[in-house]
Amino acid sequence: ARFLTRICGRRWCAVRPRPPSPLPETAPPVSAFRLSLLLPGLLGLSLPAAEKIPETSLQASRVLVLANAADPDSLALARHYLAARAVPEANLLAWKMSSSESVAWRDFVATIWNPLLERLVAERWIDAIPMATRDAAGRRKYAPNGHRIDALVVCRGVPLKLEHDASLYAEAPPYTRRGEFRTNAGAVDAELSLLASPNYPINAFVPNPLFQNQAPSESELRQVVRVSRLDGPTAADAGALIDRAIAAEKTGPRGRAYVDIANRDATGDAWFETVARQLAEMGFDTSVDREPGTFPPHARFDAPVLYFGWYAGTLDGPFALPGFRFPPGAIALHLHSYSAATLRSADSGWTGPFIARGVTATVGNVHEPYLTFTHAPHLLLRALARGASWVEAVYFALPALSWQAVAIGDPLYRPFAPGRGSSAKADGEYSTRLESYDAVRRMKRLEAEGKSAEALEAALAEHRLRPGLVLGIAVARRQLDHGDVSGAAASLALVRPPSNPVADEWALFREMAALLQGAGKGEAALEWWRRLLSVPALGATLRLHWLPEAVRAARAEGASAQAEAWQTEQIRLTPLAPPSR
């Protein structure tokens, strides 16, 4: 059966060792990048195409917040969320527990699972009758009958993941017939998702009844507690997740979209091709990279409010440029097996670094999930685009619970709620820049309706009123495509270069120079090259990539001294070839 693709960052991924299982293997090892199309049968789910995501019914009064009373930052974060979302104080759940990211199963049960479930039952958040018996892990057994929790927010300071405990291993047919699922390692939040179904086996995984379920029944909703986490490398990073979500809801997501298709696995790549089509239908100006590697550092990557891609082991490319930041409201997903192995690092993996760089919502995996059992990016975007809240979309896109997935962000965040849009006024230079992405999106929507002339006319009028780098590039490119060289030159002439360009604007400077060259304004193009190459933070890699183009532009304008200076720099920065043997 083709159903287990490891999603680590190498072409052929070495299997990370699991703690030894007391049972012999019953299936041969699965080679890397093999994927099952048998997921519906394996999970026992019917997966109809989702046509509609109903209007969210989540209420702040039914959101619970879990914090670590032994961690002052955890408590402060919880109280910040209560105040920001008007969640009742009584909904705060806090007691002392380990502050380590990793927790042993028996410690988790004793300090988190049992006291949490006991309180939820006592306060009638979960309808269940306690029983006298306990399982091997120490979990008290219950006779459950549903819950009334809309979302559970887990705050930084609550452990992130559970390690495998061989002493608690037991078969969980049919899943443990394969060696890959003979583990009870997993994400804490993925276990808390089953608080209302508390007698489940802890080994392997539990199928998610909400997965791709456009109209879950009352019975299905009563089985799952939807969980999202506020966490990150620092307490400030975790708290900013709340503020960014609330700020972004006033305007809707502003920026561009980016899709990184690895071009290596047919099924995974198909997911991201679907994402690219969805983003186009939503009107987002989108860059799609289909090369085997991730987006290179020199790629255009301004204002990535939506990013979906795979795969590399640790954040790289434009994300790693100095000073890179996501715009408010940004949602990012990078598929990698251990993307959320830790959230305390701003440089290791993807999830923690995303948070440190200003993302508003993201997902990851604490251990190897295998491709089929991670968040499906096209389903996540589908649900969000139709108005679902973050936590609703996460569970719509996730096949398995009691497994490896974790979601980061305010569960109530609704980036595409009906009626929200770009009516908020700009506040400062950065907000004015972000408004220009709204104009580009309006232009693309009109073009999709076959109204290209009307789209260009409206965008040009807005550009003349509020000229800017992003809209100027979009308008001038279309004018050049229509042969209007003088019009493109006039549009580009309105743009004034930012005095202190940030990392995600550097590639825009290069685009401006190229467009000016195409519009016959070589001297103006040369000035943009001079400004770009004078940026102190521009590293050697980017300089080496752009210097040859700048040299050609200088020579085309007869600026021989400038061309010579840039070529000398290029030679100086070029690494020496290793001596031949």
Contact indicator for 85, 91 with CB cutoff of 8 Å: no
pLDDT of 317 strictly over 50: yes
Query: Are 490 and 506 in a shared domain?
Result: no
Query: Are 392 and 525 in a shared domain?
Result: no
For residue 509, what is the domain's CATH number?
1.25.40
Q: Please check whether residue 30 lies inside any domain of the structure.
A: no
Q: Please check whether residue 233 lies inside any domain of the structure.
A: yes
SS3 121: helix
**C-alpha span between 256 and 237 (Å, rounded):** 23
Kindly state the average pLDDT of the residues 494-521: 97
Query: Are 65 and 207 in a shared domain?
Result: yes
Q: Please check whether residue 333 lies inside any domain of the structure.
A: yes
Query: Among 361, 377, 409, where does a domain finish?
Result: 409
Give the chain's domain count: 3
> What confidence tier does 419 reach under pLDDT thresholds 50, 70, 90?
confident
Query: Are 451 and 472 in a shared domain?
Result: yes
Fill in the DSSP letter of residue 353.
Answer: H
DSSP 514-551: HHHHHTT-HHHHHHHHHHHHT-TT--HHHHHHHHHHHH
Please, what is the average pLDDT of the chain?
90
Q: Please check whether residue 36 lies inside any domain of the structure.
A: no
Query: Are 472 and 571 in a shared domain?
Result: no
Q: Please check whether residue 23 lies inside any domain of the structure.
A: no
CA separation (Å) from 548 to 79, 497, 567, 576? 54, 22, 7, 17
Q: Please check whether residue 32 lies inside any domain of the structure.
A: no
pLDDT score of 40: 39
Query: Among 440, 466, 495, where does a domain finish?
Result: 495
pLDDT score of 6: 53
Query: Are 232 and 325 in a shared domain?
Result: yes
Q: Where are the beta strands (DSSP E) in 397-479?
A: 400-401, 405-408
Query: Among 469, 495, 521, where does a domain finish?
Result: 495
pLDDT score of 311: 85
Query: Are 470 and 570 in a shared domain?
Result: no
Query: Are 93 and 202 in a shared domain?
Result: yes
Kindly state the average pLDDT of the residues 227-247: 99
Cα 415-416-418 angle, rounded to 5 deg? 135
Kindly state the average pLDDT of the residues 183-192: 99
pTM of the model: 0.90
Contact indicator for 432, 468 with CB cutoff of 8 Å: yes
Question: What residues make up the domain containing 352?
Answer: 60-409
Kindly state the average pLDDT of the residues 223-236: 99
